Structure 1
Amino acid sequence: MRGSSTRGLGQGAFMEQVQECRARGYLLSSKKIGSGAFSKVYLARATRERIQHNPRLASDLPGKRHALVAIKIVSIASAPAEFSHKFLPREISSLNATYKHLNVVQLYETYQNSQRSYLVLELAARGDLLEHINAASARRRHPGLEEEEARGLFWQLNILLDDRGFLKLSDFGFASRVRPKSSLLSTFCGSVAYTAPEILMSRKYDGEQADLWSLGVVLYAMVSGKLPFKERQPDRMLRLMRRGPSFRPGLSPGLVGSG
């Protein structure tokens, strides 16, 4: 438990979390596999007793042939009230609503105290899609994935990879319910690199159209091994978008046309 992943947290606070997880039937490791503004995700193992008493674990883990899970620990104490009262419940509700969906990370259970909220999640064993692209690029000594693999992943279109190679959606804190076609959104969320230009310009936007833009960025990254536009400042990003992306030689005409 003395790994570098726990240094920033503080040994005492981390051990509290270890004990709280153990009391619920989970053995929390010091391996951090993700983080957000108010949360950290650690690798953990469900005990045999916990699996037996949790129907979702009992249904899912035997097929995976392991007892590993990911535990997302949200710091309620440091998060704004809006996050704890609005966005976190929205994420939990969305995950419960999509339980058993092949391409959504499964939520096994939640528990909390006055300081922290715990989400016990399905482990996406192969990690982040971008990590997979980078690793494949290094093996091939060529940027990006083969088009055939990119096509298969894009058809599933999510961000994480499980141990069987299925993509998994996660993090539904800013998810919006389906609205009438005429409804526009105004929430700015996500990374600038994947954000549609109308959002960067602080305009109200069509959620489906903005998602399509983000999907295009993901597809470009899959086959090119890099992002089409890379800037931190929205105004600079908009200038790059106006110029348009560049494509490496050798890509099929259909793929370049879709971009």
Structure 2
Amino acid sequence: MLEGLREGFTTLMSPPPETKKFGEGGYGATFAAHAVATKQPLAVKIIDTRRMRLEAIRRECHMLEQLDHPNVIKVLGHGTGRASTGQQHLYFIFMECASGGELFDQVIDRGANAMPEEVARGFMRGLLAGVQHCHERGIAHRDLKLENVLLTREGTVKVIDFGLSHQYQRGADGAFDRSAPLTDMCGSKSYAAPEVLSGRGYDGFAADVWSLGVSLFAMLSGFFPLDEATSKDWRYTKMAEGQRRGKSTTALVYGWYKRSTAHLSGEVVALLDSLLAIDPAKRCHVAPRRLVPLSGPYS
């Protein structure tokens, strides 16, 4: 299938003007594509291997190939370009098309108007289901953010970009061995868990849960709870103090801006408070079909 897909992109060194570009990063860009035989709409991510190690690209593809879920982007084929076309330095990753934009756009487009809780609930259900699927296969995403969640035209959530992900290996008992803390400081600061930024080691699954909390908070409020979860941000110190005193983190953050949480249900406030627990041991975690220890309309 890869050959048929790649055949239509023999001139990507200079793409035709009508080729739609979905996005661009430091290592490459993503374009609209289609399967030559079936005309099925696709997306193709083209990475310059002179800027990103081939081993790292193939590692990400290997992880994606292990994932098969409606809320995780599906990889359909990948491989290097042909030397005969001068594209041997390019790596093509063909994926299903999710052309509805980033989840981040859904927040930005509303401006000062917060996303209705019912709408956020729908997005969050899909996001939780996708992340749960990853965790069940030992994969910690480590860069969850609204910008790394795409939507289809029908509004289905698709988790993307596994370039920073870590896959735990199974131990003798068959469970994933998470005994050794991860130490890589990765992800975007606004979404990264405090233990990730501290450099003291962390559990990848728990770090993902914090990022989910930041994402849900941003959807419901239109702003981030913190710029970064370190003492460099004055709000982090106040958040830690508030949690030690048993205060609601959601109410505390809203209070800094003289805003009320009255429009939020008790369930979502409790969920946010648990997702954004600074102590990872007190943070809820993603488990089959629900959030533990919390349940309710978001699980």
Q: TM > 0.5 between the two?
A: yes
Residues 195 and 130 (structure 1 numbering): CA distance in 2 closer, same or farther, change over 3 Å?
same
Q: What is the distance in 1 between the residues matched to 2:113 and 2:180?
A: 39
Other-structure match for 1:106? 74
Q: What is the distance in 1 between the residues matched to 2:180 and 2:198?
A: 18
Other-structure match for 2:115? 145
Structure 2 counterpart SS, 1:71: strand
**In the alignment, does 2:241 pair up with 1:241?**
no
User: Is the CA contact (8 Å cut-off) linking 1:143 and 1:223 kept in structure 2?
Assistant: no
User: Is the CA contact (8 Å cut-off) linking 1:185 and 1:205 kept in structure 2?
Assistant: yes
Q: Which runs of 5+ in 2 are unaligned?
A: 1-5, 82-87, 131-148, 169-175, 240-251, 273-299
Residues 73 and 132 (structure 1 numbering): CA distance in 2 closer, same or farther, change over 3 Å?
same
Could you tell me which of 166, 190, 193 is aligned with 2:190?
193
Q: What is the distance in 2 between the residues matched to 1:116 and 1:20?
A: 15
Deviation at 1:196, TM superposition (A): 0.6
Q: What is the distance in 2 between the residues matched to 1:152 and 1:19?
A: 38
User: Is the CA contact (8 Å cut-off) linking 1:128 and 1:161 kept in structure 2?
Assistant: yes
Deviation at 1:69, TM superposition (A): 1.5
Q: Which runs of 5+ in 1 are unaligned?
A: 1-17, 52-65
Deviation at 1:111, TM superposition (A): 2.5
User: Is the CA contact (8 Å cut-off) linking 1:185 and 1:206 kept in structure 2?
Assistant: yes
Deviation at 1:129, TM superposition (A): 0.4
Deviation at 1:67, TM superposition (A): 3.0
Q: What is the distance in 2 between the residues matched to 1:241 and 1:123?
A: 38
Structure 2 counterpart SS, 1:236: coil
Q: What is the distance in 1 between the residues matched to 2:230 and 2:7?
A: 43
Other-structure match for 1:44? 33
**In the alignment, does 2:232 pair up with 1:229?**
no
Other-structure match for 2:265? 252
Deviations 1:158-208 (A, max 9, x none): 611112211101111222123424231112221111001111111110112
User: Is the CA contact (8 Å cut-off) linking 1:74 and 1:116 kept in structure 2?
Assistant: yes
**In the alignment, does 2:93 pair up with 1:119?**
yes
Q: Please list, as runs of the form range in 1=range in 2, the aligned pairs for 1:125-204 lying within 5 A after superposition.
A: 125-135=99-109, 137-138=110-111, 142-157=112-127, 159-178=149-168, 179-204=176-201
Q: What is the distance in 1 between the residues matched to 2:10 and 2:214?
A: 41
User: Is the CA contact (8 Å cut-off) linking 1:133 and 1:145 kept in structure 2?
Assistant: yes
Deviation at 1:39, TM superposition (A): 1.9
Which amino acid is the alignment partner of residue 34 of structure 2? R
Structure 2 counterpart SS, 1:42: strand
Q: What is the distance in 1 between the residues matched to 2:108 and 2:166?
A: 31
What is the TM-score of this pair, normalised by structure 1? Answer: 0.73
User: Is the CA contact (8 Å cut-off) linking 1:186 and 1:203 kept in structure 2?
Assistant: yes
Q: What is the distance in 1 between the residues matched to 2:231 and 2:47?
A: 32
Deviations 1:130-170 (A, max 9, x none): 102222x25xxx52211111112111116111122111011
Structure 2 counterpart SS, 1:210: helix
Which amino acid is the alignment partner of residue 108 of structure 2? N
**In the alignment, does 2:48 pair up with 1:75?**
yes
Q: What is the distance in 2 between the residues matched to 1:246 and 1:91?
A: 36
Any runs of at least 4 consecutive aligned residues in structure 1 with deviations exceeding 3 A, and if so which?
Answer: 27-30
Structure 2 counterpart SS, 1:34: strand
Larger proportion of helix: 1
User: Is the CA contact (8 Å cut-off) linking 2:217 and 2:225 kept in structure 1?
Assistant: yes
Q: What is the distance in 2 between the residues matched to 1:147 and 1:155?
A: 12
Residues 38 and 235 (structure 1 numbering): CA distance in 2 closer, same or farther, change over 3 Å?
farther
How much identity, in percent, do the aligned residues show?
A: 30
User: Is the CA contact (8 Å cut-off) linking 1:44 and 1:68 kept in structure 2?
Assistant: yes
User: Is the CA contact (8 Å cut-off) linking 1:134 and 1:144 kept in structure 2?
Assistant: no
Q: What is the distance in 1 between the residues matched to 2:40 and 2:209?
A: 36
